[in-house]
Chains A and B, each alone.
Chain A
């Protein structure tokens, strides 16, 4: 393993001191767990946990044409953010052929300034891609990387109250979903990747160890990438590089809702290809699967009710909250929620229920197994 070149967040020593098992993830040494993925998962579902997600990279955009750049580079439309400074939006960034370069959250900071947060693996290439668009169109945009900033995600039913106390920001109690509040040294968005309430706090690296200590003192459990993965999959959220790549479009990734075609004159990158996909009709789809018997894993084959291969599992785990196997799978067949198909687990066909993601929402399962699925 080439850990030599792996980057470390400012909290590396903090993680090690708190018993973290560190792993290489997208070129960064990150905490996998602090002892038990299950305990950390449960803490986020029941109360609150926090994740160091400083491997994800903030990029600040300013200049007269920043809005123009984002309306061209993103499939969702940042015009939705014009009226309310602080409002945030989830979007994909596409290639000309509709393939997904990355997914991100963009926040409008007022006065035509924006902050986007990019995935660790793609941050460098994404920034170069945006700079190339700026250069090609001679737009007046400044792109500022922010290596001075780190990110803590505080997630769970009590997370917002805990974060408000730890940050000295009582106004977080009133912060609407997908809005950010900037106060002093902190940029706090009511966003996350767990399906729970919570915030993502962007702050100077130097402030993060102190903030982590205050959260722990308040009873917020540090949680690692393993719990982050099981939480996001229960919440039905795609992982870039696994459930979506440059080879697939948002329509094939359960992300049609993030594509905004309403402004007819907005000729964003990938639009022509997406409209052609829509006109052609059925293509591959990303669906949810739940299994009582057997645990679906990345790469396992999916078969339709007649036993014909029709797709592949892109993410699969044993769901700690639901106590069954769950997966996202990309399939060519028309499989509607409630239908039964099968996943091949070590050579054996196991029944799988088609579920519209998420699998878990606000403390309850979104589906139940029909009786014919053996326990």
Chain B
């Protein structure tokens, strides 16, 4: 079974969101998502300052075999991007909730509140 930390919230497009406080949220892809994608080899993350829209494509994740879209889990603005992933895309597989973080966004607390909790996300991945 894939790992689903209790402290995070989740989108139905398989991103996780961590509340950093002060309206800032860290975003990555879930353990379940990295398992589905297989070994990641290339990541394209939106530039700092870019506005992202919940449910819309904001980047690209490519594994050996497939290209997949990275979706924005919430409406917001990109404040930080994890440039280290460029040379180390395997971090997304090895440590999706830690070293594999993708970006930090500024967003409304309401957006965070609208995401799935761990139990709801677990249900989603089982169906």
Contacts and interface: CB of A to CB of B under 8 A. Distances in A.
A297 B64 contact: no
Contact of A318 (B35, B41, B60): B41
A38 B90 CA distance: 10
A36 B65 contact: no
Interface residues of A, number: 16
Contacts, number: 38
Given A318-B41, A318-B42, A295 B62 contact: yes
Contacts of B67: 295, 297, 346
Contacts of A33: 38
Interface string B84-107: 000000100100000000000000
B60 A229 contact: no
A32 interface: yes
B38 A226 contact: yes
A230 B64 contact: yes
Interface string B33-66: 0010011011000000000000000001011111
A226 B64 contact: yes
Contacts of B66: 297
B64 A32 contact: no
A355 B65 CA distance: 20
Contacts of A317: 64-65
Interface of B: 35, 38-39, 41-42, 60, 62-67, 90, 93
- A-B pairs with the 4 shortest C-beta distances? A318-B41, A38-B39, A318-B64, A37-B39
9 contacts: A36-B39, A37-B63, A37-B65, A38-B90, A41-B64, A230-B64, A230-B65, A320-B41, A320-B64
